[in-house]
A and B are shown apart, each in its own frame.
Chain A
Amino acid sequence: MVKVVIISKNEEYKKYLSEFDFLWSDVFYDELFDFRPDIFIVDDEIENSEEILMALGAKNSPKNFDIIYLINKDYKNEIPFGIKIMTKPLNARVLLSEIHLAFENKNKIKALTAENTELKKNLYQIDAFYNASSKFAGTLDKNKLLEVLFETMERILSFDISTALIKDNLDENKLKFFAYSLKKITPDTKDNLLNMLFEAAQKLELNGLKSTKNEIEEIIKIKPSYKNEFFDTLFLNSDTLFAPIVIKDKFEGIIQIFRKTPFTKEDSTFFQSIIHQVLAPLRSVVYIDELVGTNLKLQKLERIKSEFVSIVSHELRTPLQPINNALSIILSEQAGKIGEVNKNFANIAKRNVARLSGIIEDLLDLSRMQTGKFDFKFKKARIEPSLELAYSTFKNQAQLKNIALELNIEENLPDVYIDSHRIDQIISNLITNAMKFTNEGGKITISASSVQKADVDNLILPVLKNYDGKYVQISVQDTGIGIEQEDIPKIFDKFSQIENTLSRNTGGVGLGLTISKYFIDAHLGGITVNSKKNEGSKFNVIIPFYDDIKAFDIELNLKKRNDKETGYIEIKEPLGLNFYINLKRNNIVILTKNSKEINYESEGFLINKVVIPNIEKGAFDFMVSKVEEEISNCEKKYDILLEKAFYKNEVN
């Protein structure tokens, strides 16, 4: 029913309004509002009618009613905004339709406003959801996820206490109890909250809840602003919502919230959906934890395997030496003449001892490679001797197999920073392979030249540190059986030849390239393979030209690799030096730019070992002369150094 108030002296209007619930008055007074009219009609004949309009306007925000102003034709004054005008004399039908229209509008606005409020609330929730989910997506830490969950719930549900019982990341037999409270809670309250959750969790009868209560770690957070107020028995007369977190049918946790004001149906829906939201990232966390666990187990197995290989290889190697010695004695005929036939057999035995010890060396290298126990001895050197050595070693063997062996070395190759012994091994591995896969009458070419890195195609190794510019390239090219294009990436895998049918014809365990790759990596070099089936293969190894910075990078990289398990931090250029600190071994290794190495034992800050062949004055930012006696001379700079180093250490 439309409610109308009319302020006029003309009682005739009552007649027009008879179909409405209306109030007629010839004066304005405040109590008229109590009637809660939908429409106010004001006649301009009333005294102060304009002031009344103003008063009505002021009262009508937000808009509760329509105002209709009845004026004479000659009314001149300005009429305030939002007020409808009707000119007298009144047409009853126009007035009625106007009232109906106003009423309808009012109802529409009411509906819209209600909808708007609902939308606003939804928007707020969506915003909170969005916020939460972006935070959820950004973290894989269970504790952090819960924090975000609590925060989001607090924003929207404004709970007083929220608690959660969640499985520990690492030890699934352990539980963590989280409480997030607006006020302080007494130990009794905390125990009660914990018991409630624990019992609820047990009632769910889900798999994977093995803990007893004593194994529960407690994490309690109180909102700082209420730190001195207590919640005591609040939860007893509070409304509560709770939800289990179940992943793969296994118990992962349970969450409960308490609030003094009862939760509505919407609150409950929201609670369920936010829990649902947190499940996805939580599931990822659980899977990742599983993966991490498996990974750790695998790493341990790998280590055990490596150690096993190492021990077995050592044991295998020991008896080989006397066998070799004995064969040498027989062959030398110092112990008596032997016939040609026996000599041949002894030679076969000796050859195979060499082969067996080669295989054992490869296995040992592999196990060292995996445990990072390789000792490299890098120094500035020329590459030519290694190539010449390889050539002279393989010359006879090639001749026996009727393979032409050629050596081409470009003149004036610059120095490289290498471990010559490893370079020998790399070249020897490449030539051994070439010999294996090249038939009689073939040709093997060993060569060395200088190249621009940009000119090197199909670099296979991910070069640790990319240097543009010049490299020495060592190539071994054969006219052998070649490699299928698709097999090229595989040949650097461990034991790659074992799966290969060729292995039966060629022998070897297929570790040569794996080990070579590792060595090349240590030189910050690279390797490329060009091969065509039945035409031959060309292996190119590139090693950067020597300079101080590369030498330093190589040494630093080596340190890092060796200490992968013990941990290290790297400090760039304090006092113009590059630092490198080994954390676990508790000593400091300082590598200066010119790659000289100084070791410090941090205990008592005494210099334990100095490995500088020649200390030149001025070569370093600080000087250490021959151990303890002269330490006072350099104490000051030494202190600064350590301070800086340890400061960085703490920061990390």
Chain B
Amino acid sequence: MSKKILVVDDEKDITETISFMLKAEGYEVFCANDGEEGLNFAKEIMPDLIILDVMMPKINGYKIARLLKYDNKYKHIPIIMVTARGQESDKLIGEETGANEYITKPFEFEELLNSVNKYLGA
């Protein structure tokens, strides 16, 4: 059975392109376009990995990461945090909230794919 990846980003163009590429790599991909939807999806579908944008309406990426990482039921799920480059202090918070990986925009798809493969062992 193919591994499930949840992509959370308020930019539809981004979730669409990322999901296309990940699907092409053989993953099952779910998309959410705001934080609340993302959190609900995460709990509902129990993905094998989450790609999480930081700046989002309703619930931001940090909060989602913290909520999941402090919950025994979900804390095993690897989280790849995506945010604008240069917000290094964000990175610190990202690490504290327990995100496993941190990728800065703008990124190349290969970079993201490498990180994903690292956790899902493909």
Contact = CB atoms under 8 A, between A and B. Distances in A.
Interface of A: 314, 317-322, 324-326, 328-329, 332, 334-335, 357, 361, 364-365, 368, 375, 377
A40 B87 CA distance: 105
A447 B69 CA distance: 45
B117 to A, nearest CB: 15
Contacts of B24: 329, 332, 334
A357 B105 CA distance: 10
A120 B85 CA distance: 78
A165 B14 CA distance: 67
A320 B106 contact: yes
Contacts of A357: 106
Given A314-B84, A317-B105, A332-B24, A322 B17 contact: yes
B27 to A, nearest CB: 13
A328 B108 contact: yes
Contacts, number: 54
Contacts of B11: 318, 321-322
B121 interface: no
B25 to A, nearest CB: 9
A329 B85 contact: no
Nearest to B24: A334
A68 to B, nearest CB: 104
Given A317-B84, A335-B20, A325 B89 contact: no
A375 B89 contact: yes
A329 B113 CA distance: 13
A325 B14 CA distance: 7
Given A321-B11, A322-B17, A328-B21, 20 more contacts: A317-B84, A317-B105, A317-B106, A321-B107, A324-B109, A325-B13, A325-B14, A325-B17, A325-B21, A326-B13, A329-B20, A329-B24, A332-B21, A334-B21, A357-B106, A364-B86, A365-B86, A368-B86, A375-B86, A375-B89
Contacts of B88: 375, 377
Contacts of A325: 13-14, 17-18, 21, 109
B8 to A, nearest CB: 15
A326 B109 CA distance: 10
Contacts of B106: 317, 320-321, 324, 357
A293 B109 CA distance: 51
A364 B104 CA distance: 14
A314 B105 CA distance: 11
| Residue among B13, B86, B106 with most chain A CB within 10 A | B106
Interface in B69-90: 84-89
Contacts of A334: 20-21, 24
B57 to A, nearest CB: 14
Contacts of A335: 20
Contacts of B16: 322
Interface in B1-38: 11, 13-14, 16-18, 20-21, 24
Interface in B94-113: 105-109
A574 to B, nearest CB: 29
| Residue among B86, B87, B89 with most chain A CB within 10 A | B86
Contacts of B109: 324-325, 328, 332
Interchain residue pairs A-B with the least CB separation, the first 9: A325-B17, A322-B13, A375-B88, A334-B24, A328-B109, A357-B106, A322-B14, A321-B106, A321-B105
Contacts of B14: 321-322, 325
Nearest to B107: A321
Contacts of A332: 21, 24, 109
A319 B17 CA distance: 12
Contacts of A319: 13
A375 B106 CA distance: 18
Nearest to A354: B106
A131 to B, nearest CB: 56
Nearest to B20: A329
A375 B88 CA distance: 6
Contacts of B105: 317, 321
A325 B107 CA distance: 9
| Residue among B18, B87, B109 with most chain A CB within 10 A | B109
Contacts of B87: 375
A319 B105 CA distance: 11
Contacts of B107: 321
Nearest to B87: A375
Contacts of A368: 86
A332 B86 CA distance: 29
16 contacts: A314-B84, A318-B11, A321-B106, A322-B11, A322-B14, A324-B106, A325-B21, A328-B17, A328-B21, A329-B17, A329-B21, A334-B20, A334-B21, A361-B86, A375-B86, A375-B87
